[in-house]
Amino acid sequence: MIVRPDGYVVTNAHVVARGHKITVLLADERELEARVVGTDEHSDLAVLRIDGDDLHLPHVSFGASNDLLIGETVIAIGNPFGFSHTVTTGVVSASGRSLRLEDRTYFDFIQTDASINPGNSGGPLLNIQGDVIGINTAIMGRAENIGFAIPSARAQQITTELIRHGEVRLGRVGLRVQDLTPDLAAGLGIRATKGVVVREVEPGGPAAVAGLEVGDVVVSVDGATVRARDEFDERLAAAGVGSRLRLEVHRGSDIRELQVVATEYAESDLDSLAWRRLGIGVRESPRARAVELERVRQGSHAARAGLRPGDLLVAVGDTATTSIAAFRRAVGNLREPSPVSITVQRGRRTYRLTLPASD
């Protein structure tokens, strides 16, 4: 869907994945070539730019998705099974849904019973005023009329980041948590049954500045209940630089609301993150367009995988680590709960490894 008159288009990342040539078909049957501005696979969003000057294209507007009512009428538009410009209607069945697809968990989806089928991906979910309140993204294949859309509030934030920077710059929060268990809740003297317990606060980090302490129990983020560590980590991973996270925190019998502002990672922060997440430290390599492992943390996933100083790190994920700067950018885009794929060269052999998510 076109979101700006100068030719910016928002769709799903899986729609344009592995595409070599991208064409946008307009309602008046014009076909215009477009290029990828940026993608964010973790949210399954992509931004395209239609080629041309002074386009003045018709476009849609993002509406508010934070105040949706269950049962509210919605309209889905797309090209299911090649039937172009198909319109279906339904209601908001639920909000704040989490969905596990392949090896990734998506959260805060809008669930709707408006008919969504293959070909609807990337199309708008509209309210009756015609504002975009979601982007149709996924379906439950074993069921009928259970579809999911990315809320417009999140889509708009990610779209802005992709247009400005070509990528989503992850914000630094400086917080690690663990699941809340009944024994932990009893030991901490709180009544909450759902949430996560703060186990580490980075000194001087955004969480510390906001007043969070080890032993605090976070029960909600921006008004949405936190049920488990993975869900909480995904919410933190979605926080871009400058994002404000409103946390409801239980500390003993005291309940308070704290606001954490995600900041940009400094170079030293990224080196520390690589040491913690990957168990490696690197240096520039004079012998290849890659970085060289300078040290490997004993007992880390990297050490257990057999990595050792002197190995060449060719890529982290799909990002080529041709320099220290490229390596740091790749580390800055790591999501906390997700496994990390790396490409390593030793001698003439190249290996692709997957390191488990951090403990």
Over residues 275-321, the pLDDT tens digits come to 988 899 999 998 888 999 999 999 999 999 999 999 999 999 878 99
Domain with CATH 2.30.42.10 in the chain: 175-261, 267-355
14 is an active site residue: yes
Over residues 152-170, the pLDDT tens digits come to 988 998 999 899 888 887 7
CATH superfamily of 73-154: Trypsin-like serine proteases (2.40.10.10)
What is the pLDDT at residue 230? 80
Domain 267-355 has CATH 2.30.42.10: yes
254 is an active site residue: no
121 is an active site residue: yes
Structure tokens at 160: 């802005």
Q: Pick the catalytic residue: 40, 42, 43, 44?
A: 44
What is the pLDDT at residue 358? 60
What is the pLDDT at residue 337? 58
Q: Pick the catalytic residue: 6, 14, 98, 323?
A: 14
Domain with CATH 2.40.10.10 in the chain: 73-154
Pick the CATH number of 175-261 from 2.30.38.10, 1.10.1740.10, 2.30.42.10, 3.30.70.100: 2.30.42.10
What is the pLDDT at residue 137? 93
Which helix (DSSP H) or strand (DSSP E) does residue 206 occupy?
Answer: helix 206-210
User: What count of other Cβ atoms lies within 10 Å of the Cβ of residue 70?
Assistant: 10
DSSP output for 324-339: HHHHHHHHHT--TTS-
C-alpha closest to that of 6 among 63, 62, 49, 47: 49
Q: Pick the catalytic residue: 93, 95, 115, 121?
A: 121
C-alpha closest to that of 207 among 262, 156, 157: 262
pTM, entire model = 0.74
C-alpha closest to that of 355 among 344, 236, 347: 344
Over residues 243-273, the pLDDT tens digits come to 899 999 999 889 999 999 999 888 888 898 8
